[in-house]
Chains A and B, each alone.
Chain A
Amino acid sequence: GDSVTQMEGPVTLSEEAFLTINCTYTATGYPSLFWYVQYPGEGLQLLLKATKADDKGSNKGFEATYRKETTSFHLEKGSVQVSDSAVYFCALRRGFQKLVFGTGTRLLVSP
């Protein structure tokens, strides 16, 4: 079945450092790919998405590129802030079926 694998956390960075959170997937066909973010004490929010190969999703300084050849959708940000501390979930969806989530990666940013 479909699955998503994310890097283990926590990822600990200093403010203004470069962020990469790795995500790879296994799915038949051409899934849509997503990154969701969960701030402390809140539900998940959609951060960005990409619906076809080579698409780049971007939002709030975060970016991820849909790489079909490597089945990856790595999340990047050039300069993280303390307010980016959260749990980040990679997810996929084939057609309009249910979302399949990775296990989440906790990001901790210190001043």
Chain B
Amino acid sequence: DVKVTQSSRYLVKRTGEKVFLECVQDMDHENMFWYRQDPGLGLRLIYFSYDVKMKEKGDIPEGYSVSREKKERFSLILESASTNQTSMYLCASSLQQSYGYTFGSGTRLTVV
């Protein structure tokens, strides 16, 4: 089975810190995605990538950036964390010509 691994399940950071959320997949998937999940808002796409060194903005990219230097790794960066970025962050991957996404278990980030 494809595995998508997110480096931390729980993270607490201070306002203004630079935060890195890491995601690694082990099945050579071309596509990778970062979502945030908030009650009543469902999943909202932050950034996605169709290939190494490629990135595309999703629906809510403000305050975030991403890095994809290797095919298997997709990092989400909060340049200066703010309390409104407290959320559950979900990473996903998929093959280019595939319908299904595989999700990681999520990182619950709290910014204090």
Cβ of B30 to closest chain A Cβ, rounded Å: 10
Q: In the docked arrangement, what's the CA distance between A51 and B98, Å?
A: 12
A44 touches B42 (CB 8 A): no
A53 within 8 A of B: no
- Looking at A34, A42, A44, the one whose CB has the most chain B CB atoms below 10 A away is A44
Query: How many residues in B have their beta carbons less than 8 Å from beta carbons of A?
Result: 21
CB pair A89 B106 closer than 8 Å: no
In the complex, the answer to whether A89 meets B43 with C-beta atoms within 8 Å is yes
Count contacts between A and B, CB distance < 8 Å: 44
**Contacts A43-B90, A98-B33, A98-B45 given; does A103 touch B40 at CB 8 Å:** yes
Instruction: Please tell me if the beta carbons of A41 and B101 are within 8 angstroms of each other in the complex.
Output: no
Contact partner of B90 (CB less than 8 A), chosen from A41, A44, A93, A104, is A44
Q: Is A101 an interface residue (CB 8 A)?
A: yes
- As a 0/1 sequence over residues 89 to 111 of chain A, the CB contacts with chain B under 8 angstroms (1 = contact) are 10001001011011110000000
Is residue A49 within 8 Å, beta carbon to beta carbon, of the partner chain?
yes
User: What residues on A are CB-neighbors of B100 within 8 Å?
Assistant: 34, 46, 49
Residues of B within 8 A of A34 (CB): 99-100
Q: Which residue of B lies closest to A8 (CB)?
A: B40
Minimal Cβ-Cβ distance residue in B for A46: B100
Instruction: Specify which chain A residues have a CB less than 8 angstroms from the CB of B40 in the assembled complex.
Output: 103
Q: Known contacts being A41-B105, A43-B105, A45-B103, is A98 close to B48, with CB within 8 Å? A: yes
Whether A101 touches B99, Cβ cut-off 8 Å, given contacts A42-B105, A43-B90, A43-B105, is: no
**Interface residue? B4 (CB, 8 A):** yes
Q: Is the CB of B101 within 8 A of A46?
A: yes
Given A43-B4, A89-B43, A99 contacting B105 (CB threshold 8 A): no
A96 in contact with B43 (CB, 8 Å): no
Which residues of chain B are near A93, meaning CB under 8 Å? 99
Q: Which residues of A contact B (CB under 8 A)?
A: 32, 34, 36, 41-46, 49, 51, 89, 93, 96, 98-99, 101-104
